[in-house]
């Protein structure tokens, strides 16, 4: 079926076909990607092949892959069209399709082999000026970045902001350990033309993101085809269990916000604890860049280090707000605390509390590769990082590999030089972040979209292409 789809896409232009996609891959609603401008109207290469000879200008072309949950990529798609770009969107499941525009959208279904075959064919025949994606470690995106490098095509990788709220991450190539900032050295990367600060402080969009996320994954898990699952970046769940777990999680957090309010206030006075922010188990950074660490290993290492340190030491574990398994994790922490004979006064587990405020009152932070470390760096709090991270630099944080490194950090730690940290954060803001938000009010999304389009035009200018069109 997939081969017939490619034949339909190619009909009238060439008799050559790419290798067959196999029985597992399907491409539905396949639409031509390359658009041309004539004096009268837009035409497509497959719809009117003879009119192509009259085309004088080929539009700039952007390929959109998966975006963040919600309507952000649909808004970006419309804005790119309004700016004169030719745009193609690929939807990998029913939820992607729900948040896509009706036109110029390919519905792809299949595994990595089928995706590679189709993408190579598409890029060789209709080469875009850039590919824009969200989450560079997702299976489909990891492969897309590799193929784009072969074809010398720019990739713009988006991600939740390294600094929040008010910024999104927007980088050339990849994010996190694949970011060019992971090779940073003091004084080697200038700040350049830093992006302006957000026009106004943006409120947290966590609630909005949670609602969009619940809708996205509910639609994906109910309506997607079995052949879509190969490219899921999170496992599929039954609709009833998914709805129940999220409902229970929201209720637990609401109750915890009331019950933990006093404890959070007390931490403002009783400062000097070691803060340990935990990550969601499905976080791609934990899956591919943790250096063998996970939440359970981190918890055990910190509690063992605490039991061997001075009696004045305290640890605060901060559960991730999106981790529906947080209640079970809390029970495991408290059980291990009792096994080691530690006082409950020395170990706290929080569902709630602002991470920035908790970091400000801490004397140290231990992470695998959570972006929470940026809050600690902002407040000049020493950080121990155990996994791969964009900030894993000896001049910025303390780097570790084993449980012995955690124990050493509990006994002795110090912040790095402030001017070096400021230089690193300056480079981060200048070349890797743009103002805006993926989920909040339309104003925040529009600011982010304007920044992404500016980034695309920067890429075209640096590659020697005109900002208008290429010949």
Query: Which two tokens mark 135?
Result: 């989450």
Residue with tokens 């934990």: 286
pLDDT score of 163 = 87
Structure tokens at 87: 């745009």
CATH 3.40.50.2000 holds for 271-427? yes
The residue ranges of every structural domain in the chain are 2-206+432-462, 271-427
Q: What is the DSSP string of 86-119?
A: EEEEEE-SHHHHHTS-SSSEEEEES-HHHHHHHH
User: CA 284, CA 280: separation in Å to the nearest integer?
Assistant: 9
Encode pLDDT of 249-259 as tens digits: 889 999 999 99
Q: How many CA atoms lie within 13 A of 270 on its CB side?
A: 18
Residue of 210, 72, 224 lying closest to 135 (CA atoms): 72
Task: State whether CATH 3.40.50.1380 applies to domain 2-206+432-462.
Answer: yes
Q: Count the alpha carbons within 13 Å of 434 in the hemisphere toward its beta carbon.
A: 23
Provide the pLDDT for residue 1: 43
pLDDT (0 to 100) of residue 189? 56
The pLDDT, as a whole number, for residue 191 is 54
In this structure, are strands 154-160 and 167-172 parallel, antiparallel, or unpaired? antiparallel
Is the separation of the CB atoms in 68 and 44 below 8 Å?
no
Q: What angle do CA 235, 241, 246 make, to 5 degrees?
A: 85
Residues in the chain predicted with pLDDT less than 70, given as ranges, are 1-59, 188-203, 460-471
CA distances from 309 to 70, 343, 409 (A): 46, 13, 10
Q: Helices 261-269 and 239-259 sit at what angle, rounded to 10 degrees?
A: 50
Asked, colleague to colleague, whether 2-206+432-462 and 271-427 share their fold, the answer is: yes
Peptide bond into 165 cis (omega under 30): yes
The pLDDT of residue 468 is 38
How far is 453 from 87, CA to CA, in rounded Å?
13
């Amino acid at each position: 079926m997939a081969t017939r789809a490619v034949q339909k896409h190619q009909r009238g232009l060439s008799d050559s076909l790419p290798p067959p996609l196999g029985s597992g891959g399907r491409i539905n609603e396949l639409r031509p990607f390359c658009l041309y401008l004539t004096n009268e109207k837009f035409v497509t290469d497959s719809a009117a092949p003879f009119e192509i000879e009259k085309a004088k200008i080929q539009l700039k072309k952007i390929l959109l892959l998966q975006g963040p949950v919600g309507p952000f990529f649909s808004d970006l798609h419309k804005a790119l069209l309004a700016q004169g770009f030719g745009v193609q969107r690929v939807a990998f499941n029913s939820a992607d399709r729900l948040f896509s525009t009706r036109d110029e959208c390919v519905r792809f279904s299949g595994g990595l082999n089928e995706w590679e075959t189709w993408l190579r064919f598409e890029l060789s025949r209709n080469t875009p000026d850039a590919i824009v994606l969200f989450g560079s470690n997702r299976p489909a995106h990891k492969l897309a970045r590799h193929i784009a490098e072969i074809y010398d095509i720019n990739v713009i990788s988006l991600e939740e902001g390294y600094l929040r709220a008010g910024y999104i991450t927007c980088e050339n190539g990849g994010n996190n350990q694949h970011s060019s900032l992971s090779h940073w050295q003091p004084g080697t990367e200038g700040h350049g033309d830093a992006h302006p600060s957000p026009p106004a402080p943006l409120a947290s969009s966590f609630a909005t993101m949670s609602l969009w996320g619940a809708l996205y994954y509910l639609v994906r898990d109910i309506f997607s085809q079995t052949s879509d699952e190969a490219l899921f970046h999170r496992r599929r769940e039954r609709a009833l269990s998914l709805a129940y777990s999220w409902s229970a999680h929201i209720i637990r957090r609401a109750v915890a916000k009331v019950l933990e309010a006093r404890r959070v206030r007390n931490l403002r006075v009783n400062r000097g604890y070691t803060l340990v922010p935990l990550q969601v188990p499905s976080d791609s950074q934990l899956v591919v860049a943790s250096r063998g660490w996970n939440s359970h290993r981190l918890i055990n290492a910190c509690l063992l280090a605490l039991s061997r340190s001075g009696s004045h030491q305290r640890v605060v574990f901060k559960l991730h707000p999106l981790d529906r398994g947080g209640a079970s994790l809390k029970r495991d922490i408290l059980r291990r605390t009792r096994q080691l004979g530690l006082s409950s006064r020395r170990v706290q587990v929080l569902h709630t509390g602002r991470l920035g405020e908790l970091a400000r009152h801490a004397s140290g932070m231990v992470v695998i590769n959570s972006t929470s470390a940026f809050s600690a760096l902002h407040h000049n709090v020493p950080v121990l990082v155990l996994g791969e991270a964009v900030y894993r630099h000896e001049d910025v944080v303390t780097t570790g590999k084993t449980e012995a490194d955690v124990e050493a950090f509990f006994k002795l730690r110090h912040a790095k030089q402030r001017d070096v940290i400021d230089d690193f954060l300056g480079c981060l803001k200048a070349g890797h972040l743009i103002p805006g938000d993926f989920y909040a009010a339309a104003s925040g999304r529009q600011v982010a979209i304007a920044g992404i389009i500016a980034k695309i035009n920067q890429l075209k200018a640096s590659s020697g292409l005109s900002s208008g069109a290429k010949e």
